[in-house]
Amino acid sequence: MEQEKVHVRLLIFAGCILLWITAVFGRVAYIQLFCHADYLKKALRQQVHSIEMYPKRGVIFDRKGHPLAMSVPVKSAFAMPGEIKDRALAARLLSGALGISAEEIRDKMDSGPSFIWAKRKLTPEAAEAVESLNLKGVYLQEENKRFYPKRDLAAHVLGFVDVDEKGLGGIEREYDGAIRGKAEKIVVLSDGRQQVLSAGEAQNDRGANVTLTIDEKVQYIAERELEAAIEKTHAPAGTVIVQDPNTGAILALANWPKFNPNAADSVPAERRENRAISQIYEPGSTFKLITLAAAFDQNLIRADEVFNCENGSVTVAGHLIHDHKKYGMLTVADILANSSDVGAIKISLRLGSQKFYEYIKAFGFGTPTGIDLPWESRGLVNRLEHWGSYSIASVSMGQEVGVTPLQMITAVSAIANGGMLYKPHVVEEMSRGETALPIEGASTLTAPKRIIRPETAATLRQLMEGVVLHGTGKKARLDGWTVGGKTGTAQKIDPSTGKYSATNVIASFSGFVPINNPAVTILVSIDSPGGYPHGGGDVAAPVFKRIAEQILPYLDVARDVPTSPQLVAASFHKNSDTSDDSLDDLSPIVFNEQPDTTQPYSAKPQAIKEKPPKSPEVLMAADEGGDIAIPDFSGKTMREVSESCMRLGLNPVLIGTSVAVQQSPAAGAKVRRGTKMTVEFGDTQVHASKSK
């Protein structure tokens, strides 16, 4: 009986267990088999997210690979107001960490329950402060911020971006699409605690890197000398451009005033204007180069031909024009060297309006050059049908025509390189990783256009050398290199009277170095220099000289004029304040600091406060110049050239096949042992036809 009772109880217990197991497994079976799709949908909704990934903006390098603009990840603070219980307290705490007013933060929080930016792109200190607050509902997110580590260097070329890293000026704007890359969505799998279990990889379309033709050192030298000239003359603005005349590549483009693109939004728009490509000015005497180029190319004049400059005045279509000096009979060479307006007018009258206009357009005036920078001005050239009876005289002197500094230097470069008009450009190449990208669209380099004959260009180069040797450009003369150039002193229009101002001018000098095989063309333009004299020969030519003296050795341009050996006394002065310890304080410059345009940097070194102790002087031999005369290799074979170079102690670089057609340095130049000697080989007939 007892046993039967126990047996029954066991059976009942087992039955309950069995029932429970059946219920559980039945439920599991129901969920797995009948509700599978539904629960799978819910799980995917919870676990799988897609997030938009923005690739890092590409880096902008100078021609030597030094970074000029780069993006670095920084933290941005955002809040979810719906999760914040005490918004007033949170706003107060955040205000201290972020440096903005609590009211501003509170207003943002009250604007809605969902996502708001507290402050974007924080400094590391601010991000740390927010993180240490550990506020519920306040989070940090990583974003990329654009930095310009050289601050205001080449600011007008680089441009700047807004807070969303969208390019707003310069290269940043012109190539914004490529540099930015494309946003991409990637799928992320996360668990219940929102920890990421796995994430897809961003596939492609990183931002492209851009390598400029700008040389960081040349750019700095140009900016420094421009700044010094601005300080000396108290001018409000100025421009310097350095160009390679053989390719059109811009090595430096400096404007004053300048700005720091790290804080571009705090700067007035006029400081961000790229005057080198947008400022239109009447070029004045510099435009005589075009007048003479056209006349020479049409075989209408000779360099030694004499013109009567009418003792300094001439009447054209009822307008009386005065020269700046009373000149009598001048050769064409002297007309250019002395910048005689009367002489230029007579030459232009011989040329005629039609031909003159054609050459003006051929030199690229009145048309954008096509440089790969935004907002380039086309200049101002009246159409021929709108020319008055006096226009030809006006234009021949560089009035009644508006040019940009870039158009002017491009034209001078065409004279320098033998008559080929190259499209100026600042981008050397673009790449994504190791892959080079094509530069497409309007920025594509086009083949150069021949605008004057090589003989015309050669004649003009000689005449421009005369300007520097015994004309208005004497202050541009260099020791060791031949220089050709032209000064310009263009009167500005006085807005109050509508007439030409007697005092406000644009002083300019455009030139190239050396005369044969020019390596660089430099344009200096100073707007409204104060004081007197204020002409191009007095204000701009010395700046040209200072820039050329520094960049020519840097660019390894061989001297083509022997220099007299000098003995210089040199002594070592140890700055009494200098010790190894003082070099420890080399903290980087604050990024957001704007350049002081009221007191530009002075090119002169600071005076040493304490007189250093007297140290022994040493007499040292100065640079004696080169002592090897370069022979003429034209027509020689590769073997002959190599043997000659080895014998002379030169370092040959031979390009091409057949016989020598071009060489650098030119024949006759004096160089040192070990100088690189580049010789191009090819078919002489093909080369001759290419030159035409």
Binders in 96-135 for other proteins, by CB under 8 A: none
For other proteins, give the closer residue by CB, 354 or 657.
657
Q: Counting contacts by CB under 8 A, is residue 621 touching other proteins? A: yes
* Separation CA 387–CA 401 (nearest Å): 11
CB of 140 to other proteins, least distance (A): 13
Q: Which of the stretches 159-167, 303-311, 391-399, 413-421 binds other proteins when contact is defined by CB under 8 A?
A: 413-421
Using the CB atoms, write b or e for 674-687: b if 16+ within 10 Å.
ebebebebbeeeeb
For other proteins, give the closer residue by CB, 9 or 64.
64
For other proteins, give the closer residue by CB, 150 or 534.
150
Contact 419, 453 (CB under 8 A): yes
Options 186, 384, 672, 683; binder of other proteins; rule CB under 8 A: 672
**Three-class SS state of 691:** helix
Residues 364-393 that bind other proteins (CB under 8 A): none
Q: Residue 207 carries which side chain, given as an amino acid letter?
A: G
CB of 573 to other proteins, least distance (A): 6
CB of 568 to other proteins, least distance (A): 7
Options 8, 629, 667, 686; binder of other proteins; rule CB under 8 A: 667
Q: Counting contacts by CB under 8 A, is residue 297 touching other proteins? A: no
Contact 174, 443 (CB under 8 A): yes
CB of 220 to other proteins, least distance (A): 4
CB of 513 to other proteins, least distance (A): 10
For other proteins, give the closer residue by CB, 488 or 595.
595
CB of 44 to other proteins, least distance (A): 16
Residues 634-663 that bind other proteins (CB under 8 A): 634, 653, 661-663
* Separation CA 252–CA 547 (nearest Å): 11
- 469 by Cβ neighbours in 10 Å (0-12 / 13-18 / 19+) ranks as middle
**Three-class SS state of 191:** coil
SS3 for 151-169 is CCCCHHHHCCECCCCCECC
String marking each residue 598-617 x if it binds other proteins according to CB under 8 A: ---x-x-xx-x---x-----
Pairing, β 401-402 against β 380-381: antiparallel
Lookup: tokens for 139: 């989070």
Lookup: tokens for 645: 């170079």
Q: Which of the stretches 169-177, 280-288, 531-539, 551-559 binds other proteins when contact is defined by CB under 8 A?
A: 551-559
CB of 261 to other proteins, least distance (A): 13
Q: Which of the stretches 79-87, 190-198, 379-387, 638-646 binds other proteins when contact is defined by CB under 8 A?
A: 190-198
Residues 30-69 that bind other proteins (CB under 8 A): 64, 66-67
Lookup: tokens for 409: 């230097």
Options 22, 578, 592, 657; binder of other proteins; rule CB under 8 A: 578
Q: Which residues on neighbouring strands pair with residue 527, listed in sequence order?
A: 237, 506
For other proteins, give the closer residue by CB, 246 or 396.
246
For other proteins, give the closer residue by CB, 528 or 675.
675
Q: Counting contacts by CB under 8 A, is residue 395 touching other proteins? A: no
Contact 210, 506 (CB under 8 A): no
Q: Which of the stretches 2-10, 107-115, 126-134, 557-565 binds other proteins when contact is defined by CB under 8 A?
A: 557-565
String marking each residue 466-485 x if it binds other proteins according to CB under 8 A: ------------xxx-----
* Separation CA 341–CA 397 (nearest Å): 6
Options 150, 271, 288, 636; binder of other proteins; rule CB under 8 A: 150
- Which position has the token pair 């530069």? 439
Options 57, 108, 151, 275; binder of other proteins; rule CB under 8 A: 151
Residue 106, sorted as left (phi over 0), alpha (psi -120 to 50) or beta, turns out to be alpha
* Separation CA 557–CA 542 (nearest Å): 20
CB of 592 to other proteins, least distance (A): 12
SS3 for 47-60 is HEEEEEECCCCCCE
Q: Counting contacts by CB under 8 A, is residue 173 touching other proteins? A: no
Residue 46, sorted as left (phi over 0), alpha (psi -120 to 50) or beta, turns out to be alpha
Options 11, 28, 72, 88; binder of other proteins; rule CB under 8 A: 72
CB of 433 to other proteins, least distance (A): 15
String marking each residue 314-353 x if it binds other proteins according to CB under 8 A: ----------------------------------------
User: 178: part of which helix (H) or strand (E)?
Assistant: helix 176-180
String marking each residue 193-232 x if it binds other proteins according to CB under 8 A: --xxxxx----------------xx--x---x--------
CB of 598 to other proteins, least distance (A): 17
For other proteins, give the closer residue by CB, 3 or 606.
606
For other proteins, give the closer residue by CB, 367 or 576.
576
Residues 1-20 that bind other proteins (CB under 8 A): none
Q: Which of the stretches 164-172, 192-200, 299-307, 388-396 binds other proteins when contact is defined by CB under 8 A?
A: 192-200
Options 204, 503, 566, 615; binder of other proteins; rule CB under 8 A: 566
Options 519, 539, 540, 641; binder of other proteins; rule CB under 8 A: 519
For other proteins, give the closer residue by CB, 63 or 361.
63
Q: Counting contacts by CB under 8 A, is residue 454 touching other proteins? A: yes
Question: What stretches of 640-690 adopt beta strand conformation (E)?
Answer: 651-656, 659-664, 670-671, 676-682
* Separation CA 534–CA 540 (nearest Å): 9
For other proteins, give the closer residue by CB, 57 or 346.
57
Lookup: tokens for 253: 């483009």
Q: Which of the stretches 46-54, 513-521, 526-534, 642-650 binds other proteins when contact is defined by CB under 8 A?
A: 513-521
**Three-class SS state of 357:** helix
For other proteins, give the closer residue by CB, 90 or 254.
254
SS3 for 406-451 is HHHHHHHHHHHCCCEECCCECEEEEEECCEEECCCHHHCCCCCEEC
Q: Counting contacts by CB under 8 A, is residue 542 touching other proteins? A: no
Residues 249-268 that bind other proteins (CB under 8 A): 251
User: 550: part of which helix (H) or strand (E)?
Assistant: helix 536-554
Lookup: tokens for 559: 């001297």
Name the nearest CA neighbour of 396 among 510, 493, 505, 288: 288
C-alpha torsion angle, residues 140, 141, 146, 149 (rounded to 10): 50
For other proteins, give the closer residue by CB, 33 or 567.
567
Name the nearest CA neighbour of 252 among 210, 279, 213: 213
User: 321: part of which helix (H) or strand (E)?
Assistant: strand 319-322
Q: Residue 463 carries which side chain, given as an amino acid letter?
A: L
Name the nearest CA neighbour of 486 among 501, 505, 465: 465
* Separation CA 473–CA 495 (nearest Å): 30
Q: Residue 479 carries which side chain, given as an amino acid letter?
A: D
User: Contacts with other proteins: how many residues (CB under 8 A)?
Assistant: 92
Q: Which residues on neighbouring strands pair with residue 147, listed in sequence order?
A: 70
CB of 224 to other proteins, least distance (A): 7
Q: Counting contacts by CB under 8 A, is residue 446 touching other proteins? A: no
Q: Counting contacts by CB under 8 A, is residue 678 touching other proteins? A: yes
